[in-house]
Amino acid sequence: MSASVIDKATRLKLAIQKSGRLTDHSTDLLMRCGLKFSRGKDQLVGFGENMPLDLLFVRDDDIPDLVEEDVCDLGLVGLNVIEEKRLEMAARGHATRFEVLRSLDFGRCRLSIAVPDDAAWTGPESLRGKRVATTYPFLLGNYLRTHGIDAEVVTLSGAVEIAPRLGRADAICDLVSTGSTLIANRLREVETVLQSNAVLVRTPLELPADKMAWVERLLMRIDGVQQVRESKYIMLHAPRSALPAIRKLLPGSESPTIIPLEGNPDKVAVHAVCRENVFWETLESLKAAGASALLVLPVEKMLA
């Protein structure tokens, strides 16, 4: 048996974006999940050193196909790319065969319609008979159909934001994250077509048990990582009498640990994990309720 046959059977392949808005967040998430990988300069593959999981660095638009065609078991990609692919497949009479396993807490952006700053806009009907440039022809087509608008979809492979200035389109349908690209090109966002964030997708094919076990472990770790990003560990001192009020103020916490304070029977220490961010306002309310010696710490790892 050749090495590649063995690899295909035992090592998970995860496709991630080669360079772009998701790349750093994707590798960061995987490293927080404990993955150590080595990757030669300009290499397409990152080899997982401590997990049977290899990374394939590819163009984000290629990720759905790689997962669908079973070249990769998993893919980390924007929902915008996945939804565009789904519609494209449907238009060809095929059902998509990948499954979204997790919605992730990064890569937030939206696919929006934008028009030149000085163009009038009274709603989707303003697009009637107009040309709209996009790299997402299926999502845009779907949006236009939903609103009963007849408009020309101008499919481009990139640089959509300059199409109106070049006279190639009257409006665009493109991804917006900070909005700075639109401002720089004197365009204004008028409608959201799709809200997007990064997602983890898997092949529809059944995976061998040992591979599946690693998928499950990875999912559990991803959940842990996403949970701690929001979580804080809070410690404070409080008079026993203030406990009911204080417990009500602790954001998203389960039963806190109450510890008696040596030589001070009326006071206790309260330790709690808060599954939401703890803001200054909360600390101020806790203090007003009688708490003192407040301390908020980040949580490093969590396993339920």
User: Nearer to ligand PRP by C-beta: 124 or 179?
Assistant: 179
Positions touching Zn ion (CB under 5 A) are 60-61
255 binds, among ligand PRP, Zn ion, none (CB under 5 to 8 A by kind): none
Closest CA to 81 of 194, 222, 223: 194
Q: How far is the CB of 98 from ligand PRP (least distance, A)?
A: 19
179 binds, among Zn ion, ligand PRP, none (CB under 5 to 8 A by kind): ligand PRP
Q: How far is the CB of 60 from Zn ion (least distance, A)?
A: 4
267 binds, among ligand PRP, Zn ion, none (CB under 5 to 8 A by kind): none
Q: How far is the CB of 158 from Zn ion (least distance, A)?
A: 8
Q: How many CA atoms lie within 13 A of 203 on its CB side?
A: 21
Crossing angle between the packed helical segments 79-91 and 137-146, to the nearest 10 degrees: 70
Q: How far is the CB of 80 from ligand PRP (least distance, A)?
A: 8
User: Nearer to Zn ion by C-beta: 85 or 221?
Assistant: 85
Residue whose C-beta lies closest to Zn ion? 60
Positions touching ligand PRP (CB under 6 A) are 20-21, 60, 161, 174-181
Q: Which residue, chain included where needed, has tokens 């789904």?
A: 86
Q: How far is the CB of 61 from ligand PRP (least distance, A)?
A: 7
User: Nearer to ligand PRP by C-beta: 84 or 282?
Assistant: 84
Closest CA to 83 of 2, 29, 138: 138
DSSP 127: G
User: Nearer to Zn ion by C-beta: 17 or 142?
Assistant: 17
User: Nearer to Zn ion by C-beta: 46 or 64?
Assistant: 64
177 binds, among Zn ion, ligand PRP, none (CB under 5 to 8 A by kind): ligand PRP
Q: How far is the CB of 49 from Zn ion (least distance, A)?
A: 29
Is the backbone of residue 260 left (phi > 0), alpha (psi -120 to 50) or beta? beta
Please report the sign of the dihedral spanned by the C-alpha atoms of residue 220, residue 221, residue 224, residue 229.
negative
63 and 85 Cβ atoms separated by less than 8 Å: no
User: Nearer to ligand PRP by C-beta: 175 or 222?
Assistant: 175
- Residue 235 has phi, psi (to 5 degrees) of -130, 140
Closest CA to 78 of 196, 255, 219: 196
212 and 90 Cβ atoms separated by less than 8 Å: no
